[in-house]
A = this chain, B = another copy of it.
């Protein structure tokens, strides 16, 4: 169950957008599907997300059960972010968006691993 005080409506599309309908969440999730796990790995994406935004998004995605957050075994500073089963279930959403983008934006392409 996803915690949030105010959903705009009981429409599943509206609720999903309330959860991750912003400019960045789905890109973070894309990178998680690509195997990225650490804060600085997300920063290397070509879209150049700001650290405060990334921090806020990871916290929100953790809070809502889309990702897990735990310290790496060998370095307690490094936080390891991974998709939960709930997060992994977003794969069809990510793929349908990616597919539409490839069809409608000349010059774009899906990278390996997606």
Q: Does A107 contact B (CB under 8 A)?
A: yes
Given contacts A92-B96, A96-B96, contact A101 B9 (CB under 8 A): no
Count residues of A near B (Cβ-Cβ below 8 Å).
47
Given contacts A11-B47, A26-B21, A96-B93, contact A106 B1 (CB under 8 A): yes
Q: Check A108 against B26 for contact (C-beta < 8 Å).
A: no
Q: Check B30 against A13 for contact (C-beta < 8 Å).
A: yes
Given contacts A47-B8, A93-B97, A96-B93, contact A105 B27 (CB under 8 A): no
Interface residues as binary, A80-106 with B (CB distance below 8 Å gives 1, 0 otherwise): 000000100110111111111111111
Q: Smallest distance from the beta carbon of A88 to chain B beta carbons, Å?
A: 11
Contact surface of A with B, Cβ cutoff 8 Å: 1-2, 7-18, 21-23, 26-27, 30, 45-48, 86, 89-90, 92-111
